[in-house]
Structure 1
């Protein structure tokens, strides 16, 4: 039986020429791109937290959304929220969704209560999944909102908070495993510091490394076949977070011997906050074999914080998917819309329109990326730029030493002339496809 939440919104057409206010004009799940269905390339997921749990607040103002499941403080409303969520998944035709435990169940104030309500709501969601085509891309634990986490979870100076965090993650991994999730994500929203005056960096990093090792150990113990993912973010809410960016996370994983067990879930908005582009973070993760999944959103470039808006910039999205495709595409990962409505976008129609628009932008970006790969222009330019390194002499130099190389430079009178990087030509090339 319908909840009625979306009853005022017509069915969403798939029609490139449609003049309907909400329509898929570019996303066709069955369109073949580089030999694979578009749906199987993009693997879209809806973020439960922003779409259903978020109430419209920001750092300067409180709730603006009034939903039938507000206040989110009992299991009856938690189940209504799940009913509405699955109605939206069906309308959109998305193959996946994602959640934090706190999105699904009301906070009970203690672990036993949280565990009981999490088990109850995930049993309920499991029943809904049996009648739905939508699967779970990943689950995670919210260990940043409640006041118990104000000084971190695995990095907290209080060992009892560490213990509560370990129990919470175990419960969320169990729930993810029960629901057939394809990944489990850890985002350390408060795994960092506000001031070095009261922070032992070395101890906190060691505790975080041990905690993540426990997660990997438990994955194997329960037979979870999905990937463990860590999500980089530089700051906000912490002044400095230990998972600052892709490079920092890779260094951390290698330090604690986890580089073969953990990959990365990379978000566009977090990349921007770290001073990078999204494609930079994706390219680096791919180069190191650690690209797992992505959170697709955008920031407002006039704001200095994480605004989590739906994507609307096709050239940016095209370059992102170019690196995803070059890396071989997603395996267990996908495209999660870690994106939220604007505080003034109050209606059910807005929630559907945001996702449809984001899915269309990603579809256009994917097709542009695929066209660039098929054309081969960027790869040819790279091949030409690094051609000198294919010679036996250049390769031998990498196994040589400074003194020998210096002697060769003197003997042969090597005096290289700079070559153009052709940046503007390559930018013009990209613009042909987007």
Structure 2
């Protein structure tokens, strides 16, 4: 076992007036909102990579964290990390966690060696799950850190790298199945290009489509009941990545006939990098029927890159969960904290408190979103804005020809006048409900 979190108490709900740092002020897991407990709405998960694998480096400096399991170069330290992780899940009372293969097993320098250590550590994690009741929200393969992935994985010009990627994903899907994972994610960290001067984009996209089709086929072969998710990201590290945003990913899925098989895992930080808001990406995915799960974090708006900070902006989070609730809520997905403490936050307490604050912010945001749903004013205004389309004449127009519609304008002397979108009024309603 581990004593890394020694002296840190179990975090419990104490209410908004509590001054205890190690208490939830807004997240009461059993509080019923819209007919369902908060814990079932939010489905919190802790990211193994940022919380335990990350050593505190950034593009301008190296390791700042000194954890007893660093470096992860043997199985004893990998198991120490797992002990620490599951202890943290118990302290926070989170139901789920997420992982990359490289987060949980030491690299052995070969696929066979990595497969052996992956199987050993996931056997150990399965035992920890049985002891604690914590589950795997999703697993994925890290196919971006090692130098073999420098030109991509599924899109790599070297067929041997494609093969190594396929074997890696198969092993990670098997491990996710073993851990009763609710989803499997493909995150194309380097599926893109740095320059078009050496890139055959059509071939790379076709290879990426074939790779994902192989993944879907294997899911059905092994009877995996979870959801296959793709995570959009526009850049960083590639100049341009093929999974740029929700709309781009859906177009890709449609092209390769996968739109009924694959959904999206959307991240706030990636939405910002794409020039969108998080609620835009969520609404887009919901409208296209591919909203699956979310990575909740935030960016520093004074920088131009993905800082992966814990969420602390309740109004932003409320708009995100509003779109999730409007779409019917999560099924197999959930709220994964793809976020990391700052590299100056060295203490074990910092890691716990970062999650406590984020969970409270998400709880506030979801409850505010629920109040917006219950209030109904925003949805009433939305319906009123499109009410004209409910008439028989308007519906008939959608089945008409261009000439018929043009004749309707001429014969009816149609000369529409613009009507207010009432944006400021709706923003006032939003702020009123936030309270």
Report the TM-score, using the length of structure 1 for normalisation. Answer: 0.99
Partner of 1:344: 344
Deviation at 1:239, TM superposition (A): 0.5
1:55-94 paired onto structure 2 within 5 Å: 55-94=55-94
* Shift of residue 72, structure 1, vs aligned partner: 1.3
Secondary structure at the residue paired with 1:432?
helix
Instruction: Note the alpha carbon deviations across 1:150-171, whole angstroms, 9 max, x for none.
Output: 0000000000000000000000
Partner of 2:414: 414
Q: How many residues align?
A: 433
SS of equivalent to 2:23: coil
Cα RMSD of the aligned pairs, angstroms, is 0.8
- State the partner residue of 2:216: 216
Structure 1 residue 59, shift from structure 2 partner: 1.1
| Partner Cα distance (1:400, 1:9) in 2 | 67
Give the alignment of 1:157-168 within 5 angstroms: 157-168=157-168
Q: What are the within-5 Å matches in structure 2 for residues 87-106 of structure 1?
A: 87-106=87-106
Q: Which residue of 2 aligns with 1:260?
A: 260
Q: What does residue 308 of structure 2 align with?
A: 308
Residue number in structure 2 paired with 1:293: 293
Distance 2:327 2:9 in 1: 39
- Deviation of residue 4 (structure 1)? 1.2
What is the SS of the residue equivalent to 2:185? strand
1:5 aligns with 2:4: yes
Deviations 1:306-355 (A, max 9, x none): 00000001011111111111111111000000000011111000000000
In 1, distance between residues paired with 2:160 and 2:412? 67
Residue 50 of structure 2: aligned partner: 50
Deviation at residue 414 of structure 1 after TM alignment = 1.2
**Matches of 2:334 and 2:228 in 1, distance apart?**
14
State the Cα deviation string for residues 8-67 of structure 1 (Å, max 9, x = none).
323324212211223200001100000001100100000000000000111111111110
After superposition, the C-alpha distances for 1:207-241 in whole angstroms (9 at most, x for unaligned) are 00000000000001111000000000000010000
Alignment partner of 1:357: what SS? helix
Report the equivalent of 1:14.
Answer: 13
Structure 1 residue runs of 4+, over 3 Å off?
none
Unaligned 5+ runs, structure 2: none
Deviations 1:181-226 (A, max 9, x none): 0100000000000000000000000000000000000001111000
Residue 37 of structure 1: aligned partner: 37
Aligned residue runs from structure 1 range 195-344, under 5 A: 195-344=195-344
Superposed CA deviations along residues 230-267 of structure 1, whole A, max 9, x for unmatched, are 00000001000000000000000000000110000000
Shift of residue 404 of structure 1? 2.2
2:368 maps to which residue? 368
Is residue 2:388 matched to residue 1:388? yes
- TM-score (norm. length: structure 2): 0.98
Asked whether the 8 Å contact 2:52–2:81 carries over to 1, the reply is yes
Cα distance in structure 2, aligned partners of 1:13 and 1:44: 15
Deviations 1:256-304 (A, max 9, x none): 0001100000000000000010001101111111000000000001110
Moved more, 94-103 or 395-404: 395-404
Match of 2:402 in 1: 402
Aligned positions of 1:186-197 closer than 5 A: 186-197=186-197
Structure 1: distance between partners of 2:9 and 2:406: 73
In structure 1, list runs of 5 or more residues that go unmatched. Answer: none
Report if aligned partners of 2:11, 2:93 keep a CA contact under 8 Å in 1. no
| Inter-partner Cα distance in structure 1 for 2:408 and 2:13 | 65
| Corresponding residue SS for 2:87 | helix
Q: Is 2:371–2:433's contact at 8 Å kept on the other side of the alignment?
A: yes
Q: Distance in 2 between matches of 1:373 and 1:405?
A: 36
8 A Cα contact 2:9 2:91, kept in partner? no
Q: Is the 8 A contact 2:10 2:92 kept in 1?
A: no
**CA deviation string 1:107-161 (max 9, x = no partner):** 1111011000000100111111110121000000000000000000000000000
Q: Is the 8 A contact 2:10 2:90 kept in 1?
A: no
